[in-house]
Structure 1
């Protein structure tokens, strides 16, 4: 794959995906353009060999798959998994705050973000809104203000002399964004009225805003960074980088006879326990509708493999001691095998061996991450999917800096390389012994 063209399209995808809802809609649009057929979970399905399909659940998770020659039990399914959500600030149900004449919105912390980088950023707002039309019918719409409408100002150093030494953040009182000033004698703005006006710009005439799931995001666009453009800087690289890479690989695998699948779950950042999360039944229920019998399902899973793709911690030049000396991945040195003795990652010697072999065949470098023995590590959808389906699983990721910050950093060579390997994976006639 052409790396410059790949990265420019990746940047466009990131820019169009400020929330899990928008990322899912963008993937659905791209799959449709590539000839995938949209399915509805409420309908009866009649799947055909040699066809391509996708299905969305609750607007924020997607499964796309190809049926290949239809011999699921004998060949299994080559599966790739990622997640659509990222740490963020989520607007509360009754958010309006009037503090000293400034209009602010109360927020909850979604997931585990680095909070310091959220200060002094030009913020916008996007997400999903549920509303009633003039006939009393309930509808859902995606909304994206796009323009900067809010900011979280820092407290000046003169008023907090210890800020550079021991600053702590109280998420209840320190981070409500400022949206505007309220003139003396005026009422505090009604946030739902603001949403109604924004929906109207898209032709949605909401009589009543019932509720919403809205997230602030940084309006600074993704960019190629570095003297030689060695890096990609963007919000939500964790884990839209993997969503995009898996999507591109599945679209490129258009000539394979093997059944293939991509799942992008929601809610990984908050534990995955939801109808759209990896702990939920979404993937299993889709798979059960692909197979004719439970026996075929079980047989197929034993002939299948899942590659869970979620970003890895690149070794930071200023904090190299936070890594095990023999397992410090470098940006632009290839995808990372993620291994943990306590099964926080689902990688086994078999699944990692297959990945090493594919990387060698595609002339793509591969690295390994193991956390320091005296430090914990995060987890992914890999162990959850392996537990739910009984399928052999591999955990990999692209090395990044600033994970869970409002702006993360990845190598500009790594994503295109991983897409090549995943495309080869989708073409494999035989998986594991």
Structure 2
């Protein structure tokens, strides 16, 4: 097993070569990676089954198993994500702007790779291919550290991508995986300043908080998703039911699922019994405030903790409010700046919500489940940043670049 120092040295060395790869070469290799992933579908599923078989050892809930499980369709989607990354414009080398200063110097700002990116994440094997291929397209070397619950899947996926590179005459060190699952190695990884240029955590609140407090490497924070849907007094009832159901039920274990439903008191008498029927049929447990409980027959009383929790499970908190102002105040107090939505036919309310809710993605009459790099047209995503420095929202290719100034002169010296 290689040490972190060895992985870091290899990544640093290859990052200088990756930065010089032309777009045609990168796209060709990405297309081949996609083909090889599809060709190795059966082997990927065998590895994934080993992880699924071990899941009870780690206390993984049935809902969270959905994040871990791969199918032929999901492997195909992973490959399609790689192809979409290949099809996107390459930001590396782009000159965003150029101007002439008073000394006659031509000054330009050019997109360049970040260098070596470390990514520490949990559960979902698709993060492995998303992260690896986005980093590769942007000329960055990547060191991946996935969770122990997906170790067999991650090792197989990285081996396929490395074999593609080696078979085409390129260094497999462009994409590396830490296989030691220990906390000690993870903590050392967070302090690998000599080799890592940036560290990106992707996972639950516990992981992200640990990285924020332990890392000495610069961190781009991808946040947890304590997301809200607000049903306005002037919402279309059927649209409100459809959006709420989708945001909670379609895939409850992911970070863009809704966790709290906020409902205006005027629509609550009609809406809440209808949504309760739909959700309880899907075994969703409801936690409501005192006002909500007047219209719900199966809900228990919500606690302070319910408003603060990203469940990632078959649980939904419900709060009734008397105004859009109260709704926005509640959302901004408890959300994690990830994704929040309003359902309304009132244009002014929709604009107020868009302007005043402080989140990376704010929706009008649409499900929060759309906050996704693939859906946004980025091919894939490294994660969804909830911070405001460098990147915010789904992180695609541009967010994995930095800039440098290129300056052209004709003999100027400063006086």
For the superposition of Structure 1 and Structure 2, which TM-score range results when normalised by the shorter chain?
under 0.3
Higher RCO (Cα < 8 Å, 6 or more apart): 1
Comparing both structures, which one devotes a greater share of its residues to strand?
A: 1
Which structure has the highest helix share of the two? Answer: 2
TM-score (ref. length: structure 2): 0.22
